Amino acid sequence: MRRKVTKAIFPVAGLGTRFLPATKSVPKEIMTLVDRPLVQYAIDEARAAGIKEFIFVTSRGKGALEDYFDHSPVLEQELRKKGKDDLLEVLKSTNMDSGAIAYIRQHKALGLGHAVWCARRLIADEPFAVILPDDVIAGEKPCLQQMVEAYAETGGNMVAAMEVAPEKTSSYGVLDVKEDMGSVVSVNGMVEKPKAEDAPSNLAVIGRYILSPSVLRNLNQLKQGAGGEIQLTDAIAADISSDVPVYGYRFEGERFDCGSKSGFLQATVAFALEREELRDDLMNYITTITQGRRAAE
């Protein structure tokens, strides 16, 4: 019987330099989309997929991220005293049970593959998920839940995938497709950040993975790859030659690249428009400024 995926790694050691000066004192992962930090969207998605153990690969200066998941007795007491039960309920989703969350330090910025490798002792010999909080995916069914359900049928390794414009392939890991079966594709190989003319397809890897523990063993042997970093895609691709299958999964939903300012702003607008209490005011504002610019032209 195939083992369930109950552990997830969240690589959050990056400095968030594209968001300076905000990230000088605030970890990028707790910058907010509407009223929830980026990392909360990732945690909620993981919980919906059945994840029970949450492993954060952090770096110096991420103390505020760790504090976010702690109970806040003074705040909770104050809310209880004022009868604000709705806000107390909101806080519950931010709390982690003792032992459910672990923090590992990545002391050198050697890439995503290295960040995942740092958590190897907590994974041991189990399949595991990797979630990149920068990639926020809005869908009726959370992306990782879709993948877990597909993985129950396929096993092996699975990466979330989406079509991108050919000129954008140099920003992604790209799949060399063996067989296209619709939502699931089997993979011959993976290429990290190829030039458009060298890309085997335009099917790009997005920040959700379900991986075999053999990937961690591959990472033990890897040297620096593209960009001088230890690439996770190289370790996944190495499994193919060992007869461990790799699949791409075309998820249903809209992906926002919240590692960029533009993507973060787009996500903020999209998520705000989904909120009933915000929708009308925001839509009126957008309509007003759009009409004003058109008139000015």
Residue at 2 is within a domain? no
- Determine if the pTM surpasses 0.85: yes
Dist. CA 214–CA 160, nearest whole Å: 19
Asked if residue 191 and residue 288 are part of one domain, the reply reads no
Segments in the chain below pLDDT 70? 1, 98, 222-228, 294-297
Asked if residue 274 and residue 230 are part of one domain, the reply reads no
Q: Which residues contact 108 (CB under 8 A, 6 or more apart)?
A: 114
Q: Are 148 and 50 in contact (CB under 8 A)?
A: yes
Residue at 48 is within a domain? yes
The pLDDT, as a whole number, for residue 65 is 78
| Tokens at 219, concatenated | 């990472």
The pLDDT, as a whole number, for residue 132 is 95
Asked if residue 195 and residue 121 are part of one domain, the reply reads yes
Residue at 239 is within a domain? yes
Asked if residue 127 and residue 49 are part of one domain, the reply reads yes
SS (H, E, C) 29-64: HHCEECCEEHHHHHHHHHHHCCCCEEEEEECCCCHH
Dist. CA 264–CA 254, nearest whole Å: 13
**End-to-end CA distance of the chain, in Å?**
64
Residue at 196 is within a domain? yes
Q: Is 131 helix (H, G, I), strand (E, B) or coil?
A: strand
The pLDDT, as a whole number, for residue 228 is 61
Residue at 272 is within a domain? yes
The pLDDT, as a whole number, for residue 57 is 92
Burial of 114 (0-12, 13-18, 19+ CB in 10 A): buried
Asked if residue 287 and residue 238 are part of one domain, the reply reads no
Count of domains observed in the chain: 2
Residue at 1 is within a domain? no
Residue at 86 is within a domain? yes
Asked if residue 279 and residue 191 are part of one domain, the reply reads no
Name the packing angle between helices 214-221 and 232-240 (round to 10°): 110
The pLDDT, as a whole number, for residue 148 is 95
Asked if residue 200 and residue 164 are part of one domain, the reply reads yes
Residue at 83 is within a domain? yes
Asked if residue 139 and residue 27 are part of one domain, the reply reads yes
**Burial profile 198-222: b = 16 or more Cβ within 10 angstroms, e = fewer:** ebbbbbbbbbbbbbbebbbbbbeeb
Asked if residue 225 and residue 242 are part of one domain, the reply reads yes
Asked if residue 125 and residue 238 are part of one domain, the reply reads yes
Asked if residue 271 and residue 170 are part of one domain, the reply reads no
Asked if residue 34 and residue 159 are part of one domain, the reply reads yes
CATH number, domain of 143, equals 3.90.550.10
What residues make up the domain containing 296? 260-297
